[in-house]
Amino acid sequence: MPGKRTSQAEVTHVSQHGFWLLIADEELFLPFAGFPWFRGASIEQLCQVEWPTENHLFWPALDIDLSVESIRNPSAFPLIAAIPTPDTAVKRGAPKATRS
Protein backbone atom coordinates (compact mmCIF):
# COMPACT_ATOMS: atom_id res chain seq x y z
CA MET A 1 0.00 0.00 0.00
CA PRO A 2 1.53 3.32 -1.04
CA GLY A 3 2.13 5.96 1.58
CA LYS A 4 0.53 9.38 1.64
CA ARG A 5 2.05 11.89 -0.78
CA THR A 6 3.73 14.74 1.09
CA SER A 7 4.66 16.93 -1.88
CA GLN A 8 2.17 19.29 -3.45
CA ALA A 9 1.63 20.85 -6.84
CA GLU A 10 2.94 24.41 -6.97
CA VAL A 11 2.84 27.16 -9.57
CA THR A 12 6.40 28.47 -9.73
CA HIS A 13 6.20 31.16 -12.43
CA VAL A 14 3.57 32.92 -14.54
CA SER A 15 4.25 34.86 -17.73
CA GLN A 16 2.15 36.31 -20.52
CA HIS A 17 2.65 33.03 -22.41
CA GLY A 18 1.67 30.54 -19.71
CA PHE A 19 2.74 29.18 -16.35
CA TRP A 20 5.10 26.61 -14.84
CA LEU A 21 3.82 23.95 -12.50
CA LEU A 22 6.04 21.92 -10.17
CA ILE A 23 4.78 18.45 -9.27
CA ALA A 24 7.18 16.33 -7.22
CA ASP A 25 10.55 16.90 -8.94
CA GLU A 26 9.11 17.68 -12.39
CA GLU A 27 8.37 21.17 -13.71
CA LEU A 28 5.81 21.40 -16.50
CA PHE A 29 4.91 24.39 -18.70
CA LEU A 30 1.27 25.06 -19.54
CA PRO A 31 1.13 27.54 -22.43
CA PHE A 32 -2.06 29.59 -22.59
CA ALA A 33 -2.29 28.77 -26.30
CA GLY A 34 -2.61 25.07 -25.46
CA PHE A 35 -4.53 25.48 -22.20
CA PRO A 36 -6.79 28.49 -22.89
CA TRP A 37 -9.00 27.94 -19.83
CA PHE A 38 -6.27 29.51 -17.70
CA ARG A 39 -5.72 32.66 -19.80
CA GLY A 40 -8.07 34.95 -17.84
CA ALA A 41 -7.37 33.44 -14.42
CA SER A 42 -5.88 35.47 -11.61
CA ILE A 43 -2.56 34.49 -10.03
CA GLU A 44 -4.51 33.46 -6.94
CA GLN A 45 -6.77 31.15 -8.98
CA LEU A 46 -3.79 29.59 -10.79
CA CYS A 47 -1.99 28.93 -7.51
CA GLN A 48 -4.96 27.14 -5.97
CA VAL A 49 -4.05 23.80 -7.54
CA GLU A 50 -4.67 20.43 -5.95
CA TRP A 51 -2.97 17.15 -6.83
CA PRO A 52 -5.35 14.50 -5.47
CA THR A 53 -3.89 11.53 -7.37
CA GLU A 54 -0.75 10.70 -9.34
CA ASN A 55 -2.26 11.70 -12.72
CA HIS A 56 -4.93 14.23 -11.69
CA LEU A 57 -4.71 17.98 -11.10
CA PHE A 58 -7.62 20.17 -10.04
CA TRP A 59 -8.07 23.94 -9.84
CA PRO A 60 -11.18 24.34 -7.63
CA ALA A 61 -11.52 28.12 -8.10
CA LEU A 62 -11.63 27.57 -11.89
CA ASP A 63 -13.39 24.17 -11.87
CA ILE A 64 -10.66 22.74 -14.13
CA ASP A 65 -9.52 19.11 -14.02
CA LEU A 66 -6.49 17.99 -16.01
CA SER A 67 -4.61 14.79 -16.46
CA VAL A 68 -0.89 15.22 -15.78
CA GLU A 69 -0.28 13.17 -18.93
CA SER A 70 -2.21 15.75 -21.01
CA ILE A 71 0.37 18.35 -19.93
CA ARG A 72 3.35 16.08 -20.55
CA ASN A 73 2.09 14.90 -23.93
CA PRO A 74 -0.53 17.33 -25.29
CA SER A 75 -0.42 15.86 -28.81
CA ALA A 76 -1.97 12.66 -27.41
CA PHE A 77 -4.97 14.77 -26.31
CA PRO A 78 -5.87 16.78 -29.44
CA LEU A 79 -9.37 17.86 -28.47
CA ILE A 80 -9.53 21.24 -26.75
CA ALA A 81 -12.79 22.63 -25.37
CA ALA A 82 -13.86 25.92 -26.88
CA ILE A 83 -13.94 28.99 -24.67
CA PRO A 84 -17.18 30.86 -25.35
CA THR A 85 -16.81 34.52 -26.24
CA PRO A 86 -19.48 37.11 -27.01
CA ASP A 87 -18.67 36.77 -30.73
CA THR A 88 -19.08 32.98 -30.79
CA ALA A 89 -22.36 33.20 -28.87
CA VAL A 90 -23.79 35.54 -31.53
CA LYS A 91 -22.50 33.30 -34.36
CA ARG A 92 -24.27 30.30 -32.82
CA GLY A 93 -27.60 32.09 -32.94
CA ALA A 94 -27.74 33.40 -29.41
CA PRO A 95 -29.79 36.57 -29.15
CA LYS A 96 -27.74 39.72 -29.51
CA ALA A 97 -27.91 42.16 -26.62
CA THR A 98 -29.62 45.44 -27.48
CA ARG A 99 -29.93 48.72 -25.63
CA SER A 100 -33.35 50.07 -24.72
51-92: pLDDT as tens digits: 999 999 999 999 999 999 999 998 887 766 666 666 654 444
Closest to 79 in 3D by CA, of 67, 88, 94:
67
76 is a domain residue: yes
Q: How many independent structural domains does the chain possess?
A: 1
Residue 87 belongs to domain with CATH number? 3.30.2020
In a domain, 75, yes or no: yes
Whether 21 is covered by a domain: the verdict is yes
* Within-domain flag for 57: yes
Q: Is residue 97 part of a domain?
A: no
The structure's pTM equals 0.72
The answer as to whether 96 is a domain residue is no
Angle ∠(4,72,76) on CA atoms, nearest 5:
120
- Can you give the residue range of the structural domain that contains 34? 10-91
